[in-house]
Amino acid sequence: MKHWTLEHEQGGIAVATLDRAGESANALSAEVMAELGELLDGLDRQPPKGLIFRSAKPAGFIAGADIDEFSQLDTPARGRALVARGWELFNRLAAVPYPTLALVRGHCLGGGLELALACRYLLAVDEPGTRLGLPEVMLGIFPGWGGMLRLPQRVGPGAALDLMLTGRTVDAQRARKMGLADDCVPPRVMDAAARQLLLSGQPRRPLPLLQRLLGGPLKGVVARGARRQVAKKARPEHYPAPYAIIELWQKHGGNALAAPEIVDRIIASPTARNLLRVFRLQERLKGFGKDGDFTAKHVHVIGAGVMGGDIAAWCALRGLRVTLQDQDIGRIAPAIQRAAKLFTRKLRDPLLARAAFDRLIPDPEGQGVAHADVVIEAIFENTDAKHALFRQLEPRLKPGAVLASNTSSLKLEDLRTVLQRPERLVGIHFFNPVAMMPLVEVVAAEGADPAALQAACAFVRQIDKLPLPVRSAPGFLVNAVLAPYMLAALRAVDDGIAPETVDAALLAFGMPMGPVELVDTVGLDVALAAGRQLADGAEAPRCLAGRVAAGQLGKKSGRGFYDWSSGKPAKAAAGAVPAGLAEKLVRPLVDRTQALVDAGIVADADLADAGVIFGTGFAPFTGGPLNHRRTGGRAI
């Protein structure tokens, strides 16, 4: 066998180790599955006392099915054959007469978890990399290899649907608590613990009565509740997969082959194709951080305001030592308080939160500059202030340190004129709110040092964000495409369409937030200034200029287009949406995206789509603005 090895131990235990040839992570390709079938054939002839599945990859157990094979699913018959392959093989595994155990260390996702669920026991190794989940829904498909059958049986329908419908993953301890793993042990005892559990004869923990009722006579109630939850986040015409998962669980016992029309519908839907595309684009962005050997240990952030404070907190959360500088300690304190909240929310464990807190060091004197591998400037948006700062900074930097500005609107070419080595300044442009936005633009000015840009990308990956290389130009990619879109929305308001109606039209298109609410969120003054810079000198919309003059700046002032006094926008019922409104408002965004590709600001159309999706939330099921136009999307 090419991918599996089977060892027979003294005591009669067989150990099947997956080490997929030529890949750094295990995935269940057609070949891997066929070999697993052969392996089971052999064991049928000579049954072992027990069988353990493990992985030889340091990366983890099994990352899922081989998604490259998904793109070959061009006919319904092929789609059904793919489902049948895993469904039948894992049913066979679940029925073998000897005990089986999956020793799960590192990621165990999708088809990998379905294999583990088909084993009698699941032993999770308690270390940070261990994550279990069924994220198929994020690719627009469903866990068709037994996940929809066995996960609800193991953890109860509520928890199972939650995992399958959100794509969320859980760690080893959580997996044990919810009953997904039979036990969770530290790495040093995992081999002994696996053998002991395998031969223990221990029966599966039965589900509590309530869970059995919810998975039996009360299925309909659970399914209705789940549909209501999903409907809050995803419309069936945009995202059919979560609805299919609920139906397959409720009516077909999780067996997709019993409802081939659903399989055909999902596999033929553009959503599945486009979400797969988005996944690949995300992998491509991740790849930008891979070359070279730059690793940051210490980051120094200057400016503890909205952005600098949150950037510093995020870097500390991700394990870096961070010094945070501002004009005085009083301006740093609020950022530290915000950071403490972030650590508690994200890390949950008080010891880990404490450790993150200890990594974030207030540094009003700027002593961290001399030790930092990355220095990020996030002070006021003012060229003179930034010049004065850069003059002081440059002589104190470590030789290979990255010097970056978070500027949104100033030209790097102007900012770097005061530097002895101007080519070392790069843009590392985060979005607000830092903790929520996955994209970071890495900005190259003319003649910038490629090594500095490479290091900047590696740093962005290190803190678990997605780097998008862009060339220096007003608004880079993301703000440049948002400006004409927001402008078009506000012109529609000038033309007498209610803000509620404009927002409703774009929500129906698939945007995460309506453009008028977005303007309220970023601030009307910021939108006005950005509009002036990015809208080719056109006059500002009256509805915007008027409100700014009246001091109605949006969420931050309690009132903009909407009343925010309750913390949320108070919206009246939307009127009937005029035909073609969403198309009309999205078109300028798509046009601008294309223009930026043509001008070489971003290297190609795919990267532009990735940037717009991860930087603005542009409807992912479309595959991005340019893909949407290219594939003749309904709306444009």
Q: How far is the CB of 412 from ligand NAD (least distance, A)?
A: 11
Q: Residue type for 246, please?
A: I
Q: How far is the CB of 106 from ligand NAD (least distance, A)?
A: 35
Contact (Cβ atoms closer than 8 angstroms) between residue 48 and residue 11: no
Task: Find residue 133's DSSP bridge partners.
Answer: 109, 169
Q: Is 308 in the site for ligand NAD (CB under 6 A)?
A: yes
Q: Which residue's C-beta sits nearest to ligand NAD? A: 305
Contact (Cβ atoms closer than 8 angstroms) between residue 199 and residue 99: yes
The pairing of strands 107-109 and 100-104 is unpaired
Beta-carbon contacts of 458 under 8 Å, excluding residues fewer than 6 positions away, are 289, 290, 291, 292, 294, 295, 296
Three-state secondary-structure class, residue 377: strand
Q: How buried is residue 221: exposed, middle or buried, by Cβ count under 10 Å (0-12/13-18/19+)?
A: exposed
> Which residue, 190 or 379, is less far from ligand NAD as judged by CB?
379
For the record, the structure tokens of 534 come out as 């990015």
For the record, the structure tokens of 506 come out as 């774009």
> Which residue, 64 or 309, is less far from ligand NAD as judged by CB?
309
Q: Is 616 in the site for ligand NAD (CB under 6 A)?
A: no
Distances (CA, A) of 117 to 102, 123, 238, 315, 402: 8, 11, 30, 36, 46
Place of tokens 């996955």: 438
> Which residue, 381 or 413, is less far from ligand NAD as judged by CB?
381
Compute how many residues bind ligand NAD; rule: CB under 6 A. Answer: 23
Among 109, 190, 304, 486, binds ligand NAD (CB under 6 A): 304
Active-site residue (options: 3, 300, 429, 628): 429
Q: Is 302 in the site for ligand NAD (CB under 6 A)?
A: yes
User: CA gyration radius for the chain?
Assistant: 27
Tell me which DSSP letter residue 416 carries.
G
Question: Which stretch, 7-15, 375-383, 489-497, 562-570, contacts ligand NAD (CB under 6 A)?
Answer: 375-383
Q: Is 56 in the site for ligand NAD (CB under 6 A)?
A: no
Among 163, 389, 415, 426, binds ligand NAD (CB under 6 A): 389
Q: Is 406 in the site for ligand NAD (CB under 6 A)?
A: yes
Distances (CA, A) of 338 to 341, 345, 349, 396: 5, 11, 17, 29
Tell me which DSSP letter residue 302 carries.
E
Q: How far is the CB of 362 from ligand NAD (least distance, A)?
A: 12
Q: What gap in Å lies between CA 77 and CA 74, rounded to an integer?
A: 9
Q: Is 408 in the site for ligand NAD (CB under 6 A)?
A: yes
Q: Is 307 in the site for ligand NAD (CB under 6 A)?
A: yes
Scan residues 68-127 and list those touching ligand NAD (CB under 6 A). Answer: none
Scan residues 417-446 and list those touching ligand NAD (CB under 6 A). Answer: 430, 432
Is 107 a known active-site residue?
no
Phi, psi torsion values for 240, nearest 5 degrees: -75, -20
For residue 364, cis peptide bond before it (omega within 30 degrees of 0): no
Q: How far is the CB of 526 from ligand NAD (least distance, A)?
A: 7
> Which residue, 55 or 408, is less far from ligand NAD as judged by CB?
408
> Which residue, 131 or 331, is less far from ligand NAD as judged by CB?
331
Q: How far is the CB of 429 from ligand NAD (least distance, A)?
A: 6
Q: How far is the CB of 437 from ligand NAD (least distance, A)?
A: 9
Among 100, 169, 250, 407, binds ligand NAD (CB under 6 A): 407
Site string for ligand NAD, 255-294 (x = CB under 6 A): ----------------------------------------
Among 303, 368, 484, 569, binds ligand NAD (CB under 6 A): 303
Q: Is 477 in the site for ligand NAD (CB under 6 A)?
A: no
Q: How far is the CB of 311 from ligand NAD (least distance, A)?
A: 9
> Which residue, 80 or 300, is less far from ligand NAD as judged by CB?
300
Q: How far is the CB of 407 from ligand NAD (least distance, A)?
A: 4
Q: How far is the CB of 159 from ligand NAD (least distance, A)?
A: 37
> Which residue, 269 or 521, is less far from ligand NAD as judged by CB?
521
Contact (Cβ atoms closer than 8 angstroms) between residue 130 and residue 168: no
Q: How far is the CB of 360 from ligand NAD (least distance, A)?
A: 16
> Which residue, 174 or 556, is less far from ligand NAD as judged by CB?
556
Q: Is 379 in the site for ligand NAD (CB under 6 A)?
A: yes
Three-state secondary-structure class, residue 436: coil
Scan residues 26-45 and list those touching ligand NAD (CB under 6 A). Answer: none
Q: Is 385 in the site for ligand NAD (CB under 6 A)?
A: yes
Question: Which stretch, 50-58, 239-247, 304-312, 314-322, contacts ligand NAD (CB under 6 A)?
Answer: 304-312
Scan residues 314-343 and list those touching ligand NAD (CB under 6 A). Answer: 325-327, 331
Q: What gap in Å lies between CA 334 and CA 65, rounded to an integer?
A: 46
Strands across the sheet with 402-405, in order?
360-362, 321-325, 298-302, 374-377, 402-405, 425-429, 439-444, 466-471
Among 204, 258, 290, 380, binds ligand NAD (CB under 6 A): 380
> Which residue, 200 or 392, is less far from ligand NAD as judged by CB?
392
> Which residue, 381 or 591, is less far from ligand NAD as judged by CB?
381
> Which residue, 323 or 325, is less far from ligand NAD as judged by CB?
325
Scan residues 538-597 and list those touching ligand NAD (CB under 6 A). Answer: none
Q: Write out the H or E segment, with its range, that includes residue 602.
A: none
Among 94, 257, 306, 508, binds ligand NAD (CB under 6 A): 306
Chain centroid to CA 131: 15
Q: How far is the CB of 418 from ligand NAD (least distance, A)?
A: 13
Q: What gap in Å lies between CA 489 and CA 110, rounded to an integer?
A: 40
Task: Find residue 325's DSSP bridge partners.
Answer: 302
Nearest Cα to Cα of residue 87 among 257, 264, 268: 257
DSSP string, 50-116: EEEEEE--TTEEE--B-GGGGGG--SHHHHHHHHHHHHHHHHHHHT-SS-EEEEE-SEEETHHHHHH
Among 76, 225, 305, 474, binds ligand NAD (CB under 6 A): 305
244: left (phi over 0), alpha (psi -120 to 50) or beta: alpha
Place of tokens 């979005």: 431
Q: Is 525 in the site for ligand NAD (CB under 6 A)?
A: no
Active site positions, annotated: 429
Which stretches of the chain bind ligand NAD, using CB under 6 A? Answer: 302-308, 325-327, 331, 378-381, 385, 389, 406-409, 430, 432
